[in-house]
Structure 1
Amino acid sequence: MKKNKNQLTFMQYILLIHGVQAGVGLLTLPRELAEIAGTDGWISIIIGYFLSTAAGLLIIQVMKKYPNGTILDLITHYFGKWVGKIAALVFCLYFAFLASIIFIRECLFIQFWILPQTDLFILMLLLSIPTYLIVRNNIKIIARYSQLVFFMTAWMIFFYFPPLKEAHWLHLLPVVKEGWIPIFTAVKITIFSFIGFEIAFFLYPSLQKKQKASAGFVIANTLTLSILLTITIVIFTFFSPDEITQFKEPTISVLKIVEFKFLERVEIVFLSLYIFVISTTVLPLMYSTVFCLSQLFGAQNHSKFVSWYLLLNLVYIMFITQSFDRNDQLSKLVQPISLFLVYVLPISLFIYVSIRDRVKRRTNL
């Protein structure tokens, strides 16, 4: 990412990180939390928020060690060219896997809720066209898109206020009714809901005011927390504790009670608009994939890799039948890798780089 071409404003930086986090996890998170921690799952969200915030701030501290390059440049600088190539391969496979899972999930949602008679291959093919047109550009264009989508869809949170008229707040009581073990067990799910902020590894060199990187990350993470927490509490208070687990996507099902004189199926309209929100997760992940791929092969332009990546996704769903269950299984496979890249890698790099720089300063003295 060249500094002179891809400068991000503070607002774009915030909304780009928030957009990556606000993906498909929101649609199923309340059910997944209810299955493990019951209606105490909202506490798990708060714990996950603090853990992800700490990890994100550590990522920023690591990137301050090499402010004009991405994580790949930092690793190459400290460990050598071949380790840098291995890092590019690992990040490329990780982002490619994660982006594909969410991209397919997006198509499954459209097929299930909006266009049940349309083949999944056709849906992905249609989505691939605008995806290619955006991802082939630099990170500045994707940041502008995330900014546009945020302001275009921010009002959708008000869809969840009418169900509060029928809320039963006693569903949340007593607090910690099953003990702390289920709550801490559910934290793993909430952590994965905040996943995506590792893109800060690649955004930092493009930020105009790098001294605001930490503040921007905290704001983005807090914005994600407020949305996750608000919708989860609405779901927990509207449905009974046992009823929540019966809905695949309770976040959408709860909107069935919302009606207007001019509109009945509000949940369909909501999901149609939410597709744009999901795209703010998919597009930066795809960009990161092809960016790492271009670094791996030493290419100056990443755009030629975009079409190949999208084509591979089309070939994949053509020969392998897709379902929500298969998609969930793939999501579980990528979780350990996410935890390693988000938590273990920043801690290890920070310790190593700090010790090495300290030893180097003492040697120079």
Structure 2
Amino acid sequence: MKEKLHPFHICLLVYMNQSGVVLFALPRLLAQETGYNGWVTILIYSAMATFNIWLISVVYRLSKGKSIFVIIEQALPKVFIIPLYTFLVSLWTLTGCLIAKQYVIIFQTFVFPTTHPMFIKFLVDFLAFLLISKGIYNIAKAATSFFWILIWLLLLLLYFIKDFEWVNMTPFFFHEHSPNVLVGGLTVYSAFLGYELAILLFPYVEKGKRFIKSVYLANVMVTLSYLAVCVVCFGLYSFNQLKRLSYPVIDLLAQISFPFVERIETFTFSMFIFTNLISITFYIWAAKEAVLRVVPKINGNWITAVLISAAYAVSWIPDVLSKVEAWLTFLGITEIAIAFGLPLLLIVILLLRKGEKESCITDYD
């Protein structure tokens, strides 16, 4: 009997995949795109993510836990399936790879300024390959271990309570927001992405409602983490300061001084390699699962190696952080479309099949 993922591990896996290096820039993004008191919009984005998870729960209930690949292959001809899988594989592979590239460039700037970032990225990709080769169950267990290493870092926010200025929390809401608020809002919403890959876990979980509850809980945990960090930043920095600082959370952590640790901001940012490792691992694992549906006889480790190698080669193209972030913005908006569109497509397929079965039963009677 195959091992099933426990809801606790699923919750922490989704949480680690959702949270990432974007946290360090999130207060600035909120100030630039949504204006004064932009931290409030985190609740709106969380509600959108909750609705998306509800769509996934509908698919899970209608399919009775069946793999989404089986549902798609039973409903669509191969002429549509191959391009769809190719698109998903490309999207998930590049998303995971460029998330890692973004982290590596920032990390290299702070810690190893004379080292080429692609050398560090090679090491991260190699670790991801080793983790993917162990399967989704071990990936989830690794995410659980990494979670306990990182979660205590939120306690550092207590250091800033004494300096919190309520005057910075102005009575104005969303004034001076970005003129292109739709694209800006989607860019910020991409910080919540990661939960959508839970739709691939149907065959690996115990049947029941606890699976979906664990995904909901992960989104709540991410929301509270983002909210805590952003409220503190909006209370310590003025609105114009937030818009100027590239990574306000890093600047915030630089104010902390302990007699036993120097440059706490560098130490804290270095720890976030664990979330990025889980992100690249989960996304490329998802891409590998799609490839295996097309060529099931090929060894999964070979597929993983090819995907990571191809993504590594492509990641040489955006050679500076601004280009990487531009690529991630495009990929993030595309992933949002998939996050909502794929469950809706599956719901339509499942409802049509259910209607056909009921029609056949009625005709037989």
TM-score, length-normalised on structure 1? 0.92
CA–CA separation in structure 2 for the residues paired with 1:13 and 1:177: 35
2:272 maps to 274
How far is the alpha carbon of 1:182 from its aligned partner? 7.5
What are the residue-to-residue correspondences of 1:1-365 with 2, within 5 Å? Answer: 4-5=1-2, 7-176=4-173, 178=175, 185=182, 187-299=185-297, 301-318=299-316, 320=317, 322-365=319-362
- The farther-off stretch of 285-294 and 168-177 is 168-177
Q: Deviations over 1:9-46 (max 9, x none)?
A: 01011111111101222121111111122232112111
What's the C-alpha RMSD, in Å, of the aligned pairs?
2.2
Q: Which amino acid aligns with 2:276?
A: I
Aligned partners of 1:57 and 1:217 also within 8 Å: no
CA–CA separation in structure 2 for the residues paired with 1:317 and 1:347: 31
- The farther-off stretch of 226-235 and 17-26 is 17-26
CA–CA separation in structure 2 for the residues paired with 1:355 and 1:236: 48
Q: Deviations over 1:23-74 (max 9, x none)?
A: 2221211111111222321121110101111111111211333344322221
CA–CA separation in structure 1 for the residues paired with 2:197 and 2:36: 31
TM-score, length-normalised on structure 2? 0.92
- The farther-off stretch of 161-170 and 28-37 is 161-170
CA–CA separation in structure 2 for the residues paired with 1:219 and 1:184: 29
CA–CA separation in structure 2 for the residues paired with 1:225 and 1:115: 32
Q: Deviations over 1:179-212 (max 9, x none)?
A: 8997974542332111111111111221124321
CA–CA separation in structure 2 for the residues paired with 1:83 and 1:118: 44
CA–CA separation in structure 2 for the residues paired with 1:345 and 1:307: 27
CA–CA separation in structure 1 for the residues paired with 2:174 and 2:66: 48
How far is the alpha carbon of 1:119 from its aligned partner? 0.7
CA–CA separation in structure 1 for the residues paired with 2:220 and 2:305: 35
How far is the alpha carbon of 1:118 from its aligned partner? 0.6
CA–CA separation in structure 2 for the residues paired with 1:324 and 1:53: 31
CA–CA separation in structure 2 for the residues paired with 1:157 and 1:127: 24
CA–CA separation in structure 1 for the residues paired with 2:103 and 2:2: 31
How far is the alpha carbon of 1:175 from its aligned partner? 4.2
- The farther-off stretch of 327-336 and 50-59 is 327-336
- The farther-off stretch of 139-148 and 23-32 is 23-32
Q: Deviations over 1:85-114 (max 9, x none)?
A: 333222211101211110111211211111
- The farther-off stretch of 199-208 and 137-146 is 199-208
How far is the alpha carbon of 1:263 from its aligned partner? 1.7
5+ unaligned residues in a row in structure 2: which ranges? none
Q: Percent identity?
A: 20
Aligned partners of 1:89 and 1:296 also within 8 Å: no
Q: Which amino acid aligns with 1:73?
A: V
Q: Which amino acid aligns with 2:337?
A: F
Q: Which amino acid aligns with 1:198?
A: E
